[in-house]
Every structure is written in structure tokens, then in C-alpha cells.
Amino acid sequence: MNEEARYIPTKYDSVFWIDVERIQPNPCQPRKEFSEAGLNSLAESIRQYGVLQPLVVSRIDVDKPDGGLESVYELIAGERRLRASRLAGLRQIPVVIRQGDTNLTKLELAIIENLQREDLNAIDRAKALQKLIDEFGISHAECAAKIGKSREYVSNSLRLLSLPEHMQDAIVGREISEGHARPLMALNERPEERETLFKEIILRKLNVRAAERIARSIAQERVHKYNRKSADMVALEKSLTETLGTRVIIETNAEGGCLRIDFFSPDDLQQLADMLAAERENKKSDENRPLPAQAGKTFPNTTQLSDDPVPKAAPEEPNEDGLYSVSNFTV
């Protein structure tokens, strides 16, 4: 027989028909929501055409109450088909049995199978991605490669989990869309304004563009509020720019701010570092230098502590105008 024509066995050895009741749900199933209407539609299709794609399961041997072993099957992929098959009243369904998989491999298969479905809601998708990253210790880029998506797709999906629980529930319940989540996440550092915008979206049924416009307006208002520089701040920027020989920008916010010093080459950066280090050393030297003797010198705003009598002030010389004052003449 031609070598290329030989059958190469795989983990998918063959298709078996298994009793529906012997198949256990996957405990690692990332999908939490199943549309009742969607399940009913799939069940009707199964009644007419049967299960067109076999489910994927693994076999587990468990102890029977009366002794001996019993084989049960744990679902890896195909929970919608399993649920719809039960609704359709099927007693048996086709499955392929994977053997030798670790629990992590089963988890990976279950997550990826669900992530490849277009009808998975955004929050379940984000939680599935997070679980895949946490369980396997992989980066966003590696996770993206596993599911055939871009790294930005993974990162943006995970950002949805930064929203409060009730906003995530609103996405799952389709009260707001994934698009509405973007302007809400833009206000994550301003929870009060974010909550107000969330309520406005629901009550006024704002579309995504209107929500983005409001969020942008709130963000710009905050920037303008804290970026209005006083004359003293502008003068300080100018002074630092002249001292350091490069542009210096002071940015303020509610808590404080930051100082930005521009440099245009590694040499510029080294020069700035040397200048700041030298200034620090000079300050230390000034603090440690002893004060010189100040014998016989008095300082303003101090009281002279001495037993010597204070000398009388010399009489003032009358000026020329005073010689001819009326008070100097007698009648």
C-alpha cells in the first residue's frame, strides 16, 4: 500500500452514539447564557434533520454505588447541541471521544470552541479569554494566536471586565451594546459621571455615537479645567526651560500633576541627569558647610544684648532753611 494512503489514527477515532443522559455538562463551560429562542430553533432543526455535527466528549470511569465501574462522558464541545437535543426528545446523539487529554486541554478546547461562535455575548467572551490567559499563563498576543484574532481584539475584549458588575449585566441582557461600553470605559476614572452616562444611555436610549459625544465632552471639560495655567505656573515653566536648556511642560490634575522635560538624544538625557545630580551635590555641600564667624556684626531685626549704654544720638545740624525759621526770632 502506498505510504501516503495509509490511515493515520487520530484522537477522533470514530463516531459513537451515546445516551443523552450519560453526557455530563462541562464544568469549565465559559458560556453562561443560552438563548431560549435560539435553543428552540435549533431543537426544531434537530427534529427535522438530526444532529449534523457530532459533539466532542471525553470518557471518565467512575465507581458505581453497588460496586464496579461505570463510564460517563464529559462534554468538551457542543453544549447548545446537547441542550437542543434534549429539547427535541432525542435519546441518543453522535459524539467523538477524545482520549488522553488533560484537564487543561479540555478547558482550552471548551473555551476556544465557544470563542469561535459568533453569538457569544461580549462579557462571556471576555471572561473566557481571561480564563484562558490565567489558566495557561499566556500573553494577550499568545491568546490571540490560539483563537485566530488580533492582540487588540483580545485586549479590548478584556477591558470590558473593568466595568462594574451591573453594567456588565446590562451588556449580557442587551440593555446596552458592546459599542456603548467604549464611552463608559473612557470614564472609568470618573465613576460618578460614568454612572450618570450609563443611566442616560438606558433611559434616553442613546445610540453609540451620542454616548461617545457626551463622554468626549466630559473628558475635554476635565482636561480644560486642570490645564488652565496660572501666570505663576507659566513663569515657572519658562524659568525651568531657561535653566535646563530644553522645553519643560507642567501638567496638573486633581491630585497633583507631572513635570515633563523634553530631550532629543541620549546625550541630552545624560546632560540633564548630570545637571540635576550636580545641583543635588551643591545643595548637600551648602547644607554641610559651617557658617563663618560673624564677630562684631549685627543682623537686622535682632535685639542687641549688651550691658553697654546705648550712645546718645548726635544733635542734628540745623539746616539752612531752619536758621531763618520764625521760631528762631524773639520779639
Catalytic residues: 79
For 252, which DSSP code?
E
Vertex 167, ends 162 and 173: CA angle to 5°? Answer: 125
Q: Which residues of 213-233 are buried (b: 16+ CB within 10 A; e: fewer)?
A: ebbeebbeebeeeeeeeeeee
Question: Smallest Cα–Cα separation from 177: which of 161, 210, 197, 201?
Answer: 201
Cα–Cα dist 77/113, whole Å: 6
Residue among 62, 57, 84 nearest 73 (CA): 57
Residue matched to cell numbers 490511515: 7
Q: What is the CA radius of gyration of the chain?
A: 40
CA–CA gap between residue 268 and residue 275 (Å, rounded): 11
Task: Give 179's DSSP letter.
Answer: H
Among 224, 161, 222, 152, smallest CA distance to 187 is for 222
Grid coordinates of 210: 451620542
